């Protein structure tokens, strides 16, 4: 049965909701459903009839063959509300199409890869598909021809050697016909993507076999360090692991149950992994990029016996953008040659939206990355990453004792957790191993997965609960489900002993799936585990609490085979010997030849320094990355000690990411990226060395434990099997390896993607070969770091550490690219010892706190580094270079180096350190306490003069254009037209002021045995609970981890708590608007409604809702006061910008009765915001008037002058008068959109006035201390 409901958004758009049920809904149930779908203050805009007539509407919705994540979460909400009859809900967009606009709407708003057109709406979810039977392929009778046909029809990507091996295996060894399920498994699970044959293969160059495989070359630096080094896991498992620290963490006393959280001692190690998702992102950018992030997150959590996710890294390397109505210098190639897949511009926007969306919803901060575009004709070749690089990396944690997976034993249970199976991501392994264009369009589409970050959040909760049990962790072994689906992950778990699997144990989301698809489709958000039989009930109880499917599929039996049985019909679809398909596979041989021809020398036009700056700053690889960082959460977890944005201007220029291990210690990890694919085109060896060196110069900004403890994930993206490219890849790997041996650092793993080419308009387009180095290292003290923003404008000097030693080669530079050129000589690392010494020198300077700021010289050269440092602090500079004739080379050359800001009192000591390490350093200029910017030549005088704000407008121009394409263009224009020279704050922020003195929590409070208990409540999709628990513990509370399922199932109730805190996140993925499902669960469940009402009525209780919790409190009617009619109740809705906003903003604490903000009135300070729906709406202005008169709006956004503001981005959501919080008249209940729990430690603040750094504790701790003191009374 299908019910239909419609919600009017505006005159030109309706949303259609199609609800499948297994039984009729009663009238009250239909009203519940309508409440859920409708906007609370506009219930009249939702009904059972469309608002745009069928004759005038173009209706676009998801493909019916796959249930969307929207539906999965919508059904979860309905069932939590008691609407158990509902089995699926899909949403469509119905556009008004007057005056023959239908074709235009379908052209501009329709994604044929993920959507379809519904002329009559959705009439049934039944696609008419029936599950296909397992087929036996007649190899014995028809020979290799049968294999070749299967290979072509299913896009298995088997080469001639694969076909020969499998022909031999089945015909001569097993002497039987294979099933299509077996061949599909072998094609995907044993693809280049999954098994890395090229890196393990015999490489032959110019007819000569190379002595080492690529894998051996990459391993050489780690082997050279000997066995006594910091690596605990390397070149195996899902991530690398290095030694961490003994630290203090907030942990549950009884993991997997409602539990008090306490601060406990743990040894915590550091993990890192990285991968790419290039093929899926080219086919369908948003889901392809989403699932790239999701797969990598699962790698982080599937290391050892279970890891903890930390921070994310994202990288984008795409072709020329050709933004409509906007010219990026140097963009010439490919403009009139579209692909049947996504364009570079849509990949950059939609792909980054996918990455951001997934991380935001899961709760992983994205704090590091890179962005680059390129496209040129070089000789007879078209070189452009039209098949893009979508890179995802992550740095996390692992408890000591969990580093090694337990070996499989007979009797261990084979378990899968995660979401149900859907026919998505079918053939992803083999499709990703092909050049784009070798496969059919349908097979390419089938190979793309769909992401459900909320499900991954839940599955990750299960793993975290288990690992926090310490020695009682029930997980013996764990792997993430990726390419090849269960056929890959479960087969890996079975190795070497073997076992039987019941395919019908896998929960299906689509009942029409064949055994082949159940076994081989990726269907995301899944893990395979080995668990001992005696621990399975404990594990199931954790899964139940987190509402995650737990599928016991079979057990290890010692047969040495993987056997897949179908208990539905008694058949066996797979029976393969593990040694024959995994362990003893023959090595492959790959041949290549070296290229002899070179490239043209640079021939730059006669341009001024100013013209060159404007051109270079427009390149996405050089200019602002604001269009990426403002839409991604950079503060969730409360463990981020350094993210991308720096200075009073908070622009994204940081060199390094720093992640704390705990809220209660200063140990952590640093991570940094290096990549130089354009320079690799000129000289693959030099480019590889420069990628390593860039990572190292970025890492130098954090004081790490020791250079010898840097480990790296090396990811290679290359068209390796095309002429000459294999030799270039091999030479690059040797160069990288040799340099790392010289530096004393090492790779501990990585991935390769060796089909980086595509056929576009009938032409072969090769992506430049690329090496991405993600380095990570232990940090003993996360406060020992240096950021690029200038600290003392007008009172400091600028010095250059020049590792190029006077060379300023422009080959492969941004300046060359801006004029559609490449050049024939690129920068290189000629002296590894000098590179190591400069790193050590900078580390000593940071240790002695001698330098104020530091920026590496890289893309865009010296002038870019200096300009970025000063833009971040809204101050000026005066820089001198030796000769006017060499101005472009001096200012835009990208040789290795650092620009450092020095106070005059430390100049002598800095020069002494550089001299002792043999590192060249020279003074190049001074900072100014104005916005004037100038460059002079010592031989001729002035070369360039401008202002910081003009430079910033140039630097942000391209970002602003892209912003306008991905958000409310009026907001984008408002932000980027606001760089006024008259803005206050040259190096300071006058709006910061305190009305109190922050004081630390007394030791006797922290050590008390009878602490007030506060429940930090979470729902499916909540992700901000752990930092909230930490903030409460820091103030003296006994915080508890409580889930909505705990309350629903009676494991605990609210009567025993004095406080409730509704934590932030994306409950139910914000389906039906933010917090709507969470509120519906409470309001329409009698038991819960009475429990919450009883808590609210008690006079000894308080509540706090932050972000998603704030939205919930408004929907519950807890603020501003109880009893307001639903259609008049204030609500927090979508930001004016139309997107998620991640910003460090300034707020003022206003007079109010709020007990949590008592004594803070008049304080003006910074705070994190991270939300997509924070715009406060008053449906009834009389309520707004009363809120104002009763002073129930205690927090407001302010501008740099300290005035309440509605100007974007100072007010990131557009709320009237800047209001961003509401409280109850008695002050006990407070709802706020900003995140004080993410800045209750001073090191969590990305910027503060210099004098505030001397404070004992963060001012935001007082809010939690106020709550404690109120409870204590």
Q: For 1033, phi and psi rounded to 5 degrees?
A: -65, -35
State whether residue 498 is helix, strand or coil: coil
- φ/ψ of 373, rounded to 5, equals -125, 155
Bond prior to 1243 in cis (omega within 30° of 0): no
How far is it, in rounded angstroms, from Cα 610 to Cα 802?
23
CB atoms within 10 A of CB 659: 26
Catalytic residue (one of 279, 397, 663, 1235) = 1235
Cα dist from 659 to 267, 635, 665, whole Å:
16, 10, 12
Please spell the DSSP secondary structure of 1030-1093, one letter per residue.
HHHHHHT-EEEEEEHHHHHTTS--GGG-SEEEE--B-GGGGTTSTTHHHHHHHHT-HHHHHHHH
Q: Which residues lie closer than 8 Å to 401 by C-beta, 6 or more apart?
A: 470, 471
SS3 1227: coil
User: Is the CB of residue 593 less than 8 Å from the CB of residue 205?
Assistant: yes
Neighbours of 351 (CB within 10 A): 29
Nearest to 833 by CA among 743, 897, 920: 743
Q: Is 1110 part of the annotated catalytic residue set?
A: no
Rounded to 10 degrees, what is the CA torsion of 105, 106, 112, 115?
A: 70
H or E element, residue 33: helix 27-37
The catalytic position among 1107, 1110, 1223, 1239 is 1107
**How many H-runs (helices) and E-runs (strands) does the chain carry?**
41, 52
DSSP per-residue letters across 276-288: E-HHHHHHSHHHH
**Which of 898, 899, 878, 910 shows the shortest CA–CA distance to 794?**
878
- 269 tagged catalytic: no
List residues bridging with 551 in a β-sheet.
Answer: 416
Q: Sign of the CA dihedral 648, 652, 655, 659?
A: positive
Nearest-angstrom CA–CA distance, 397 and 639: 12
* 930: region left, alpha or beta (phi > 0 left; psi from -120 to 50 alpha): beta
Task: Dump the DSSP string for 819-846.
Answer: TT---S-------HHHHHHHHHHHHHHH
* 200 CB neighbour count, 10 Å cutoff: 14
- 1190: nearest Cα among 1218, 1217, 1158, 1153: 1153
Instruction: Give the Cα separation of 731 and 715 in Å (integer).
Output: 15
Residue 50 corresponds to which tokens in the numbers above?
């469309």
- Whose tokens are 């961490």? That residue is 244
Query: Could you tell me whether strands 115-117 and 86-96 are parallel, antiparallel, or unpaired per DSSP bridges?
Result: unpaired
Q: CA–CA separation, 1131 vs 1139, rounded Å?
A: 17
In this structure, what token pair is assigned to residue 819?
Answer: 């004029």
**E-strand stretches of 1096-1227:** 1102-1106, 1131-1133, 1141-1149, 1164-1171, 1175-1177, 1195-1197, 1221-1223
- Specify the 3-state DSSP secondary structure of 311: strand
Which ranges constitute the DSSP H helices of 174-276? 180-189, 192-195, 197-200, 214-224
Mark whether 1086 is an active-site residue: no
Strand (E) or helix (H) holding 947: strand 941-947
Residues 41 and 1179: beta-carbon distance below 8 Å = yes
For 274, list phi and psi in degrees, rounded to 5.
Answer: -160, 150
Tokens of 98: 């007057």
Would you say 1226 and 1123 are in contact if contact means Cβ atoms under 8 Å apart?
Answer: no
**Active-site annotation holder among 350, 868, 975, 1237:** 1237
Active site residues: 1107, 1235, 1237
């Amino acid at each position: 049965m299908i019910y239909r409901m419609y919600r009017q958004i505006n005159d030109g758009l309706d949303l259609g909701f199609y609800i499948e049920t297994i039984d009729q809904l009663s009238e009250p149930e239909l009203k519940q459903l309508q409440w859920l779908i409708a906007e609370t203050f506009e219930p009249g805009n939702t009904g059972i009839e469309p608002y745009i007539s069928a004759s005038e509407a173009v209706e676009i919705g998801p493909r019916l063959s796959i249930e969307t994540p929207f539906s999965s979460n919508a059904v979860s909400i309905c069932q939590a509300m008691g609407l158990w009859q509902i089995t699926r809900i899909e949403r469509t967009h119905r556009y008004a199409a007057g005056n023959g606009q239908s074709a235009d709407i379908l052209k501009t708003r329709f994604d044929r890869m993920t959507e379809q057109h519904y002329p009559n709406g959705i009439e049934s979810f039944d696609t008419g598909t029936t599950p296909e039977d397992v087929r036996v392929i007649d190899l014995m009778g028809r020979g290799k021809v049968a294999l070749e046909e299967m290979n072509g029809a299913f896009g298995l990507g088997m080469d001639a050697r694969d076909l020969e091996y499998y022909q031999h295996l089945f015909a001569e060894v097993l002497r039987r016909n294979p099933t299509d399920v077996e061949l599909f498994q072998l094609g995907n699970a044993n693809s280049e993507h999954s098994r890395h044959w090229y890196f393990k293969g015999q490489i032959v160059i110019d007819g000569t076999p190379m002595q080492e495989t690529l894998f051996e070359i990459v391993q050489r630096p780690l082997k050279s360090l000997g066995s006594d080094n910091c690596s605990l896991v390397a070149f195996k498992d899902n991530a690398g692991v290095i030694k961490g620290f003994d630290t203090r963490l907030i942990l549950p006393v009884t993991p997997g149950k409602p539990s008090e959280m306490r601060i406990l001692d743990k040894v915590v190690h550091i993990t890192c992994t990285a991968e790419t998702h290039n093929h899926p992102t080219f086919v369908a950018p948003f889901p392809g990029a989403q699932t790239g992030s999701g797969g990598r997150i699962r790698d982080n959590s599937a290391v050892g016996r279970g890891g903890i996710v930390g921070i994310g890294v994202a990288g984008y390397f795409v072709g020329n953008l050709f933004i409509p109505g906007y010219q990026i210098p140097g963009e010439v190639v490919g403009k009139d040659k579209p692909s049947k897949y996504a364009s570079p511009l849509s990949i950059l926007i939609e792909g980054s939206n996918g990455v951001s969306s997934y991380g935001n919803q899961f709760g992983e901060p994205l704090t590091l990355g890179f962005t680059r575009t390129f496209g040129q004709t070089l000789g007879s070749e078209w070189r452009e990453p039209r098949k893009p690089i979508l890179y995802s990396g992550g740095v996390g944690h692992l408890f000591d004792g969990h580093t090694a997976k337990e070996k499989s034993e007979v009797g261990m249970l084979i378990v899968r957790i995660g979401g149900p199976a859907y026919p998505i991501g079918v053939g992803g392994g083999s499709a990703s191993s092909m050049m784009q264009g070798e496969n059919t369009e349908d097979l390419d589409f089938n190979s793309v997965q769909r992401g459900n970050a909320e499900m991954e959040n839940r599955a990750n909760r299960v793993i975290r609960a288990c690992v926090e049990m310490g020695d009682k962790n029930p997980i013996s072994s764990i792997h993430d489900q990726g390419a090849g689906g269960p056929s890959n992950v479960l087969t890996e778990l079975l190795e070497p002993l073997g076992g039987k699997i019941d395919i019908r144990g896998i929960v299906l989301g689509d009942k029409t799936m064949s055994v082949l698809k159940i076994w081989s489709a990726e269907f995301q958000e899944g893990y395979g585990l080995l668990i001992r039989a005696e621990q399975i009930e404990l594990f199931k109880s954790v899964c139940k609490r987190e509402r995650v499917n737990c599928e016991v599929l079979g057990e290890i039996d010692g047969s040495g085979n993987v056997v897949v049985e179908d208990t539905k019909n008694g058949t066996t679809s797979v029976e393969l010997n593990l040694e024959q398909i995994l362990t003893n596979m023959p090595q492959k041989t790959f041949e290549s030849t070296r290229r002899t021809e070179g490239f043209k020398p640079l021939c730059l036009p006669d341009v001024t320094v100013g013209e060159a700056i404007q051109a270079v700053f427009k390149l996405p690889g050089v200019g602002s990355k604001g269009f990426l960082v403002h839409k991604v959460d950079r503060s969730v977890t409360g463990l981020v000690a350094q993210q991308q944005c720096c200075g009073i201007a908070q622009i994204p220029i940081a060199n390094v990411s720093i992640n704390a291990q705990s809220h209660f210690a200063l140990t952590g990890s640093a991570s940094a990226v290096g990549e130089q694919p354009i320079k690799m085109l000129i000289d693959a060896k030099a480019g590889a060395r420069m990628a390593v060196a860039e990572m190292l110069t970025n890492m130098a900004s954090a004081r790490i434990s020791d250079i010898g403890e840097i480990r790296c994930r090396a990811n290679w993206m290359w068209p390796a099997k095309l002429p000459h490219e294999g030799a270039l890849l091999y030479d690059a790997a040797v160069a990288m390896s040799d340099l790392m041996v010289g530096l004393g650092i090492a790779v501990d793993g990585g991935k390769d993607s060796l089909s980086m080419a595509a056929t576009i308009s009938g032409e072969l387009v090769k992506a430049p070969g690329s090496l991405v180095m993600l380095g990570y290292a232990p940090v003993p003290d996360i406060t020992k770091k240096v950021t690029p923003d200038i600290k003392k404008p007008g009172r400091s000097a600028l010095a250059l550490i020049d590792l190029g030693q006077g060379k300023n080669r422009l080959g492969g530079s941004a300046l060359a690219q801006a004029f559609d050129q490449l050049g024939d000589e690129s920068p290189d690392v000629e002296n590894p010892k000098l590179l190591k010494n400069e790193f050590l020198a900078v580390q000593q300077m940071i240790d002695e706190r001698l330098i104020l700021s530091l920026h590496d010289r890289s893309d865009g050269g010296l002038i870019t580094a200096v300009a970025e440092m000063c833009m971040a602090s809204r101050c000026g500079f005066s820089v001198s270079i030796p000769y006017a004739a060499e101005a472009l080379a001096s200012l835009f050359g990208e040789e290795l180096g650092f620009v450092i800001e020095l106070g005059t009192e430390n100049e002598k000591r800095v020069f002494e350190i550089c001299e002792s390490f043999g590192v060249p350093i020279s003074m190049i200029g001074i900072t100014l306490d104005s916005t004037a910017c100038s460059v002079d030549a010592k031989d001729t005088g002035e070369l360039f003069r401008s202002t910081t704000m003009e430079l910033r407008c140039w630097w942000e121009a391209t970002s602003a254009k892209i912003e306008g394409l991905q958000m409310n263009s009026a907001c984008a224009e408002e932000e980027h037209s606001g760089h006024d020279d008259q803005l206050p704050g040259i190096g300071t922020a006058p709006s910061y002021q305190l009305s109190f003195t922050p004081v630390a929590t007394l030791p006797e409070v922290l050590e008390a045995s009878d602490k007030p208990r506060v429940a930090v409540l979470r729902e499916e999709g909540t992700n901000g609970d752990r930092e909230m628990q930490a903030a409460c513990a820091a103030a003296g509370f006994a915080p508890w981890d409580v889930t909505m399922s705990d309350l629903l199932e009676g494991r605990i109730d609210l009567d025993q708590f004095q406080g409730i805190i509704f934590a932030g996140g994306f409950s139910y993925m914000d389906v039906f608007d933010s917090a709507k499902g969470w509120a519906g669960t409470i309001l329409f469940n009698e038991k819960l409604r009475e429990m919450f009402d009883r808590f609210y009525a008690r006079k000894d209780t308080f509540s706090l809702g932050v972000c998603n919790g704030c939205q919930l409190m408004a929907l519950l009617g807890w603020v501003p006061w109880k009893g307001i009619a639903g259609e008049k109740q204030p609500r927090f809705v979508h930001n004016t910008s139309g997107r998620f906003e991640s910003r460090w903003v300034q707020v003022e604490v206003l007079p109010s009765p709020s007990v949590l903000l008592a004594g803070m009135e008049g304080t003006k300070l910074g705070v994190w915001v991270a939300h997509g729906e924070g715009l406060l709406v008053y449906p009834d202005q009389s309520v707004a008037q009363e809120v104002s008169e009763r002073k129930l709006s205690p927090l407001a956004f302010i501008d740099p002058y300290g005035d309440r503001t509605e100007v974007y981005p100072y007010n990131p959501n557009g709320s009237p008068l800047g209001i961003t919080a509401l409280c109850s008249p008695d002050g006990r209940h407070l709802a706020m959109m900003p995140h004080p729990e993410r800045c209750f430690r001073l090191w969590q603040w990305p910027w503060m006035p210099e004098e505030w750094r001397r404070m004992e504790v963060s001012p935001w701790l007082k809010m939690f201390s106020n709550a404690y003191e109120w409870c204590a009374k």
